[in-house]
Amino acid sequence: MQLNYQDIKRYYSPSNYGPRGLPDDGVRGRLIDGKAISAEVRSIIKADIEQRRADPTTGGRAPGLVVVLVGSDPASKVYIKQKQKACQEVGIKSTLIEMPEATSPAELLATIKGLNEDEACDGILVQLPLPTQQLQEEQLAILETIRTDNDVDGFHPFNLGRLVTREPNLRPCTPFGVMHLLWSTGVNPYGLRCVVVGASNHVGRPMMLELLLNGASVQIVHRFTQDLEAVVRDAECLIVACGKPGLVKGDWVRPGAIVIDVGINRLESGKLVGDVDFETARQRASWITPVPGGVGPVTVAMLLRNTVTAYSTHTNRGAAA
Distances (CA, A) of 258 to 197, 249, 281: 14, 14, 10
Strand 265-266 with 272-273, pairing: antiparallel
The letter for the amino acid at 182 is: L
Residue 250 or 297: the one with the smaller Cβ distance to ligand GUN is: 297
CB 173 within 8 A of CB 306: yes
Q: Which residues within the stretch 155-194 sit at the binding site for ligand GUN (CB under 6 A)?
A: 173
d(C-alpha 154, C-alpha 171), whole Å: 4
CB 174 within 8 A of CB 209: no
Rule CB under 6 A: say whether 69 interacts with ligand GUN. no
CB 304 within 8 A of CB 87: yes
Among 122, 138, 153, 210, binds ligand GUN (CB under 6 A): 153
* Part of the chain binding ligand GUN (CB under 6 A), chosen from 4-12, 93-101, 120-128, 180-188: 120-128
Q: Which residues within the stretch 73-112 sit at the binding site for ligand GUN (CB under 6 A)?
A: 79
Task: State the catalytic residue, choosing from 48, 83, 122, 277.
Answer: 83
- Nearest approach in angstroms of CB 303 to ligand GUN is 7
- Nearest approach in angstroms of CB 89 to ligand GUN is 18
The letter for the amino acid at 276 is: V
Position with the least CB separation from ligand GUN: 128
Beta bridge partners of 266: 272
* Part of the chain binding ligand GUN (CB under 6 A), chosen from 43-51, 99-107, 121-129, 278-286: 121-129
CB 28 within 8 A of CB 283: yes
DSSP 8-state code for residue 102 = T
DSSP 8-state code for residue 106 = H
Residue 78 or 106: the one with the smaller Cβ distance to ligand GUN is: 78
d(C-alpha 99, C-alpha 184), whole Å: 39
Rule CB under 6 A: say whether 127 interacts with ligand GUN. yes
Strand 272-273 with 258-261, pairing: unpaired
Task: State the catalytic residue, choosing from 48, 122, 153, 275.
Answer: 153
x/- map, 19-58, ligand GUN, by CB under 6 A: ----------------------------------------
- DSSP codes joined into one string, 221-265: E-TT-S-HHHHHHT-SEEEE-S--TT-B-GGGSPTT-EEEE---E
Among this protein's residues, is 234 annotated catalytic?
Answer: no
- Residues 6 or more apart whose CB falls under 8 angstroms from that of 119 comprise 314
3-state DSSP call for residue 134? helix
Q: Which residues within the stretch 258-297 sit at the binding site for ligand GUN (CB under 6 A)?
A: none
Rule CB under 6 A: say whether 241 interacts with ligand GUN. no
Task: State the catalytic residue, choosing from 127, 149, 151, 261.
Answer: 127
Rule CB under 6 A: say whether 125 interacts with ligand GUN. yes
Rule CB under 6 A: say whether 309 interacts with ligand GUN. no
Among this protein's residues, is 24 annotated catalytic?
Answer: no
x/- map, 187-226, ligand GUN, by CB under 6 A: ----------------------------------------
Distances (CA, A) of 122 to 62, 64, 119: 10, 5, 7
- Nearest approach in angstroms of CB 109 to ligand GUN is 16
Among this protein's residues, is 83 annotated catalytic?
Answer: yes
- Nearest approach in angstroms of CB 172 to ligand GUN is 8
From the DSSP assignment, how many helices (H) and strands (E) are in the chain? 11, 11
Catalytic residue numbers read 83, 127, 153
Residue numbers of the site for ligand GUN (CB under 6 A)? 79, 125-128, 153, 173
